[in-house]
Structure 1
Amino acid sequence: EYGYDWDTAWSITTKTFNYTCHTLLPEALEVWPASLIGELLPRHLEIIEKINAQFEAELKAKGVAADTIKDMAIYTGDSVRMAYLATYGGSHVNGVAELHSQLLKDVTLKNFSDVYPDKFTNVTNGVTPRRFVKLANPRLSDLITEGLGTDKWVSDLELLKGLEPLAKDDEFVKKFAAVKKANKHAFVGFAKDHYGIDIDENTLFNTMVKRLHEYKRQSLKILAVISTYADIKSGKVKAEDIT
C-alpha cells in the first residue's frame, strides 16, 4: 500500500510492536483455523505464510533442530498460532508480572526464549491497584485515606502497609464491612435497574467483568449444572422442564 519492499516493511513491524502474553495456559493461546482466515482474509493468510517461511528459514540458519522448528511453526497448514506470530513479529515479549514473565521464558514460550533470549523482558503493566481502587471504589478509597490520615497512597502504594495495624481496630473493621455492604447494596440496585435481576445482597458476590475464554466457560457450565441440580432437588423446577 505504501510501496515498501518486504524487508523494509518487516523491519518497521518488528521495531513497532511488542507482545504482552496474558496467560501461561497453552489452551488459552489463540489458534485460528487457516481455512477461516483464508476465507475471510485471504491476503492476510498469504502474508502469514510468507512470515512463517521466513521464520522457519531463520530458525534453520540458527541451527535449530527440525522437530523444534515444527513445534514453533506459526502456520501449520491447518491453523495459525497467533501467540507465536506475535512473539516472532514483535521486538519484546513480556508477561503481566515478574513471575509470569519468567514462566513464559521457562515453560510456555521456552523454545522462543532459547532462540531469542533478548526478546524476553518483564514489564508489570495494566491498571495499578491504587488507581483501580481510587476510581472504581470511592467509598473504600475514602476509608483508606481516613485510616492512613493521608491520600498520598494514591501515588505511593507502599503506604497501604499502614493499614495492617487497623485490622485489629474494631471501629475500622466495622467501617470496612459497612463499605462492602454499601457497595453490594448499590450493585444490587444496578443489576435490578439495568437487567431486571434480583440479587440477595447478603450472599457472596463473585464477579468477572471481561470476555470469557472457552476454557473458562467450562467452569461456568459446571456451575450452571450444579445450580440446575439444586433447583430440581428443591422442587423449584421439574426435571422434565429442563432442556
Structure 2
Amino acid sequence: MRVALMVTCINDALFPAAGKAVVTLLRRLGVDVEFPEAQTCCGQPMVNTGYLDEAVPVVRTFVSAFAGYDYVVVPSGSCAGSARHQHGIVARRSGDAGLATAVAEVSPRVLELSEFLVDVLGVTDVGASFPHTVTYHPTCHSLRMLGVGDRPLSLLRAVRGIRLVELPAAEACCGFGGTFAVKNSDTSVAMGADKARHVVASRAEVLVAGDSSCLMHIGGLLSRQRSGVRTMHLAEVLAATEGA
C-alpha cells in the first residue's frame, strides 16, 4: 500500500508539528508514508473566492504529485474536502478531459486523517497516551462536507489517560472560513468569541480539532483572553505518548 501525506499549506508554513505528528503516528502503525515534494496548495482559497480558472494549474499539480498512490492522507477536513469535491468542478469547467480523468482517479483516494485510521487501517486505539482534559471541535468541512462523524471522537476516547469533555454547541462554526475571516472580520470574530466562550466553559486544558486553520482562529482568541487553554491538532494528540 502506497500512502502519501498532503501536509496542507497552513501546516507547512505555520504548524509543522501537526504534519510531523502524522508521520510519527502512521509509522508507529506500520505505514511507510511518503511526502511528494512536488505538492503545493489544494486550490481551495481560489475556488472559494470564485477564481476557478486560476485554480486549474493548482489542481493539475495536485493530481500529478499524488498520482499512483493508493491513499493520500490529509490532516485537514477542509483540504481533503476540497480535493474530493472541488477538484472535479474545476476540472470539468476547464474543458480538459485528461485533467477530469486524472481528478476522477486521484480525488476518491484522498482521505482525512481520521477516515484513513478508522476506515482503512481499521484502528481506533493507536497507542497514544495523553493525560489531560480535552474537548473536541468538529470543524465544518470535516463535519458537513466529508461526514467524518464520530471517527475523531472514537480515536480520542481510546487514548490512554485522556479525560474527554463535551464542548457546548460543538457543531457551531468557529467563524474562520478562510477568506471569510478577512472579508467579514467582525462576524468572524463574533463567531469565534462564542466558540472560545464554550471552550472555556468546558473546563478543558486542551482544545483539539482536525484543522489547524480553525485552531489558529480559536486559539488566537483564547490566547488574547489569557484563558490558559492550549490548542492541538488531532494528529498531535494521537502521536503523543506522555506517561506511557
Taking structure 2 as the reference length, the TM-score comes to 0.28
Taking structure 1 as the reference length, the TM-score comes to 0.28
- Greater share of helix: 1
Q: Which has the larger radius of gyration?
A: 1
- Greater share of strand: 2
Choose between structure 1 and 2 for higher RCO, CA contacts under 8 A separated by at least 6 residues. 2
